[in-house]
Amino acid sequence: MRPRSPLWSAAALALLAAAAAPAHAVTYGTPTIKLSAAYLSGAVGATGDPTVTVTVAQSGADASALTVTATRSSEGTVAAAADVRVTGTGGSRAVAVTAHARGYTDLTLKVTGLGGRTATATLHYAASPAVGHSADARYLTGAADASAAVDVDVGGGYVVVANDEDNTLRLYDGTASGAPVRTWDLGGALDADKEVDIEGAARVGNTVYWTGSLGNNKDGEYKPDRNTVFTTTVSGSGAATRLTFGTAGHRLRDDLVAWDEANGDRYGFAAATADGREPKRADGFNVEGLEFAPGSATTAYVGFRAPLVPPRAGGKALLVPVTNMDQVARGGKAVFGTPVELDLGGLSVRDLRRDEAGRYLILAGSWAAEDNSAPYALYSWDGTAGHQPVKVLDLPTADAGGWESVVSVPDPATAGARVQLITDDGAADLYGDGTEAKDLAHPEWQKSRTTWFTVS
């Protein structure tokens, strides 16, 4: 009798078959690569240019196993693939670019994952030319027409900047190049159909006063929204700074004209604001500066870009004190003090700023120039009517943009004290294609420049 074969259970046979079969390879998905912004601006010779963040991932793999490289540049003379630096590990990497020439290039970024799988993304890069004092320059992106600025974080570097082409206030880390940390669009709060053309700002305590240019537009047309003075309230500090809208008034221009007519039409404000009269001429009407008088929280100097006094080459710059600016910003009728005429070497007021000790710095420029085609200078003034300002610095004019704003007044007793100025680059052809910066389609390519200068 033959022995019986052993009986094997179906489960045992399945286990034996599984053990004999080859192991399945791990399956990796196609990696992903996403840019925090598809557009990036830099400058030749810049220090601390903006960066973009690249986020990468791959199913079945740890992000630290992925590599990110630049593989192609459409215009290597502007920046080659080798000029792209990728830093960081894990799912988030920082991408920086070193520019060699002005212009545009598209940079291809590739992520390589496990299993040899790859994916790409395109970074559209624009480089502006080298500037003087480049080591002390930073670029504030997101808008090109910086027109007024206030220090909201004394000693911390954060600054709120107005742009004269919109009604948005932007908070920047003024020590670094890059996009605004926060923005506040006040068009709705101001009930403005067009831009207010913000040109001046001054801070008293936690209140910031802002003024429009008050003048006609470049075509000589009256735009009511420009006849605006308003306030915002500052809270918090640093990157956590907040602004809240306060009040607004819309009659300062009219009150200035009426006051001038009642005093013999001394400055020609009525004619300067007439239909068809352009604002930026020696006998025009255009406000660009605002700052409070020494020791006062209500009397503010309104600084005029135009007119000069008298309205010809070599004329003096004009400040008109508004003694109840707190009421004007609530819609009240303005009350005026004795006007102040300052010899700025034939230049007019583009901005002025005061410190707690009553010392002023006046940024002086041409009533006409939109760029660097005329001189700019920085003057100190003790705030006393009848005392003339003293020039402390001739500003460089070889680069694009016009000097527009003084952030704060440094302590002159401090050795190597530095002042921070900001340019309006709206009319500048930053990238060599004939397009003014304010007309660039991508806000990441729009920018103004902030630079520190040593003053004594």
Instruction: Return all residues near 164 (Cβ < 8 A) that are at least 6 apart.
Output: 145, 147, 195, 197, 198, 199, 213, 424, 426
- pLDDT(4) > 90: no
The average pLDDT across 35-63 equals 96
Q: What is the DSSP string of 305-345?
A: EEEEESSSTTPEEEEEEETTHHHHTTTPPP-B---EEE--T
Domains of the chain (ranges; CATH) run 32-128 (2.60.40.1080), 134-454 (2.120.10)
Question: For residue range 88-107, what is the model confidence (pLDDT) as tens digits?
Answer: 999 999 999 999 999 999 99
Question: For residue range 204-233, what is the model confidence (pLDDT) as tens digits?
Answer: 999 999 999 999 999 999 999 999 999 999
Closest to 283 (Cα-Cα) out of 271, 295, 291: 271
- Residue 64, φ and ψ in degrees, nearest 5: -65, -15
- In this prediction, residue 8 carries a pLDDT of 43
The answer to whether the predicted template modeling score (pTM) of the entire model surpasses 0.85 is: yes
Strand order in the sheet with 390-394: 348-354, 360-365, 377-381, 390-394
- In this prediction, residue 342 carries a pLDDT of 98
The average pLDDT across 340-348 equals 97
Question: For residue range 221-277, what is the model confidence (pLDDT) as tens digits?
Answer: 999 999 999 999 999 999 999 999 999 999 999 999 999 999 999 999 999 999 999
Classify residue 180 by its DSSP letter: -
At 224, the amino acid letter reads P
Question: For residue range 288-300, what is the model confidence (pLDDT) as tens digits?
Answer: 999 999 999 999 9
What is the average pLDDT value for the chain, to the nearest integer?
A: 93
The average pLDDT across 40-44 equals 98
Question: For residue range 391-410, what is the model confidence (pLDDT) as tens digits?
Answer: 999 999 999 899 999 999 98
- pLDDT(117) > 90: yes
Helices and strands (DSSP H and E) totals, the chain: 5, 28
